[in-house]
């Protein structure tokens, strides 16, 4: 399969969503680049939101690099098949952050070009998807098992070969676990896209079972092109967005939707989809891509990279929106635009990563080229306040910020797709942190 290169389309990016309580509110921030990728040995183009373990070590993926020669050449340089990496937190014995590729994809049945991040299970194994490769060259879902001794190579297991392209390069894709250990994710092919469940084998050994749990039907009555990570609540309901589709005629193929998918009441039954909101373009935003956050208050929060009230660029520089949960069964969710971005020279634009939230209800996210905080009104009503935590415009590592934050304590971690070390082809990306 021929791979197209170039920058990922902003309106088609989405990242895994996570709800956390930050230890303290971030004020007077300091940005630090903790690692710069080099391409060949360690990977290039990190795109997905990082995962973190209890010790504060970080885990993520690079779309290319890693040294494999099986994923195409440009002139005299192999692009590489991508990596899964660990960035080890400093200790008294080793005061520097250290990056280690824990797996390098080789395009020998294991998949190539992981575009989303990775997620932990309860046993400390990592899971993710690749864009290409596998038995049908259309991507895989893989498991990485840590070494039993605590050091040494991780073991890669391909637990499913997709039969249609996940196309993770243009559409970074994530998976999420439910309480029973099932994995859920999206498939953008369709014609309008679908959602799947992968159930682990009984006893922990054997083949995972793939089930397509929903197929989107497209506009005007349904969404199209599901993107980003899924959120799940305590009842097993799934929440997500579609980049297109819905009832609006203000956008080509619709302006996008927010949906809920409820599990069947009995085993083997059908999942039930409910469209919670149809985006209308300006001023409420269009083409959502960053997944959704289930907030502390039960409301849904998310971003649109286009739309809003500021700027003519694709109808606006994007928004942060809220869907207020109905107080009475049967009533609609109510959408509000909490903030409209003002463009790269001001508050940033084109937010692409998922949001996180602290215990006080403040939201944190990224919008090229800034990291931002959005604070609710103190009175409970009125405008939200946007604060730029850090502006990357004069930073040596400036590159596309495609992922959301990963918190550990009161520190926020993230990646840039570009910046850092550069060669004749491109810059290779960085891992950074923002601390009080």
* DSSP bridge pairs for 387: 373
Q: How many CB atoms lie within 10 A of CB 31?
A: 17
Output the CA torsion sign for 355, 183, 225, 269: negative
Question: Residue 223: what pLDDT?
Answer: 96
Question: Residue 246: what pLDDT?
Answer: 96
112 has pLDDT over 50: yes
User: What is the mean predicted confidence (pLDDT) over 254-277?
Assistant: 94
> What share of the chain has pLDDT > 90, as a percent?
49
Q: Tell me: the pLDDT tens digits for 240-255? A: 999 999 999 999 899 9
Q: Tell me: the pLDDT tens digits for 224-239? A: 999 888 999 999 999 9
Identify whether 419 is preceded by a cis peptide bond (ω within 30 of 0). Answer: no
Q: Residue 353's Cα: distance from chain center in Å?
A: 6
| Encoded tokens for 99 | 């990056």
Question: Residue 358: what pLDDT?
Answer: 92
114 has pLDDT over 60: yes
CB 232 within 8 A of CB 263: no
Q: What is the mean pLDDT of the chain?
A: 84
Lowest mean pLDDT among 83-92, 98-107, 121-130, 155-164: 155-164
The predicted model scores a pTM of: 0.88
Lowest mean pLDDT among 23-27, 62-66, 79-83: 23-27
User: What is the mean predicted confidence (pLDDT) over 301-330?
Assistant: 88
Question: Counting beta carbons within 10 angstroms of the beta carbon of residue 24, is it exposed (0 to 12), middle (13 to 18) or buried (19 or more)?
Answer: exposed
User: What is the mean predicted confidence (pLDDT) over 68-87?
Assistant: 77
Q: Which position has the higher pLDDT, 275 or 174?
A: 275
| Encoded tokens for 378 | 């103190």
Q: Residue 421's Cα: distance from chain center in Å?
A: 24
| Encoded tokens for 340 | 């409209």
CA atoms within 13 A on the CB side of 244: 16
75 has pLDDT over 60: no
| Encoded tokens for 256 | 């996008």
pLDDT tier at 421 (50, 70, 90 boundaries)?
confident
Report d(CA 425, CA 436) in Å as an integer: 35
Question: Residue 132: what pLDDT?
Answer: 87
Cα of first residue to Cα of last residue in the chain, in angstroms, is 46
Residue 273 DSSP symbol:
E
User: What is the mean predicted confidence (pLDDT) over 76-82?
Assistant: 74
Report d(CA 36, CA 421) in Å as an integer: 6
Question: Residue 165: what pLDDT?
Answer: 58
| Encoded tokens for 257 | 């939707």
164 has pLDDT over 80: no
Q: Residue 282's Cα: distance from chain center in Å?
A: 24
Report d(CA 239, CA 82) in Å as an integer: 29
Contacts of 20 (CB under 8 A, 6+ apart): 356, 357, 358, 407
177 has pLDDT over 70: yes
């Amino acid at each position: 399969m021929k791979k197209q290169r170039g920058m990922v389309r902003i309106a088609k990016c989405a990242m895994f969503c996570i709800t956390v309580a930050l230890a303290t509110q971030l004020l007077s921030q300091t940005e630090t680049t903790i690692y710069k990728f080099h391409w060949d040995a360690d990977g290039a183009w990190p795109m997905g939101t990082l995962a973190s373990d209890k010790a504060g070590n970080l885990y993520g993926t690079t779309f290319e690099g890693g040294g494999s020669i099986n994923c195409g050449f440009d002139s005299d340089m192999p692009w590489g098949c991508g990596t899964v990496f660990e960035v080890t937190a400093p200790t008294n014995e080793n005061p520097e952050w250290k990056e280690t590729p824990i797996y390098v994809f080789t395009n020998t049945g294991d998949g190539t070009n992981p575009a989303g991040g990775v997620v932990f299970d309860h046993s400390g194994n990592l899971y993710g998807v690749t864009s290409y490769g596998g038995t049908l060259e259309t991507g895989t879902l893989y498991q990485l098992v840590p070494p039993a001794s605590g050091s040494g190579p991780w073991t890669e297991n391909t637990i499913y070969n997709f039969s249609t392209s996940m196309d993770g390069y243009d559409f970074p894709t994530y998976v999420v676990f439910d309480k029973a250990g099932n994995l859920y994710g999206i498939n953008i092919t369709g014609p309008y896209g679908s959602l799947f469940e992968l159930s682990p084998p009984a006893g922990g050994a054997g083949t995972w079972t793939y089930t397509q749990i929903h197929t989107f039907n497209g506009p005007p009555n349904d969404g199209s092109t599901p993107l980003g990570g899924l959120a799940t609540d305590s009842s097993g309901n799934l929440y997500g967005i579609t980049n297109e589709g819905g009832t609006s005629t203000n956008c080509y193929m619709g302006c996008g939707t927010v949906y809920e998918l409820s599990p069947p009441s009995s085993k083997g039954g059908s999942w039930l989809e409910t469209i919670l909101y149809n985006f209308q373009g300006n001023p409420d935003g269009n083409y959502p891509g960053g997944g959704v956050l289930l907030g502390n208050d039960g409301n849904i929060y998310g971003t649109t990279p286009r739309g809003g009230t500021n700027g003519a660029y694709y109808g606006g520089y994007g928004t942060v929106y809220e869907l207020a949960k109905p107080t009475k069964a049967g009533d609609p969710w109510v959408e509000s635009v909490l903030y409209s971005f003002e463009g790269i020279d001001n508050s940033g634009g084109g937010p692409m990563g998922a949001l996180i939230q602290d215990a006080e209800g403040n939201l944190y996210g990224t919008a090229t080229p800034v990291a931002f905080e959005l604070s609710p009104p103190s009175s409970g009503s009125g405008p939200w306040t946007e604060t730029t935590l850090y502006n990357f415009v004069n930073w040596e590592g400036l590159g596309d910020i495609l992922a959301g934050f990963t918190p550990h304590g009161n520190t926020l971690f993230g990646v840039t797709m570009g910046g850092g070390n550069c060669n004749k082809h491109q810059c290779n990306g960085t891992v950074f942190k923002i601390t009080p």
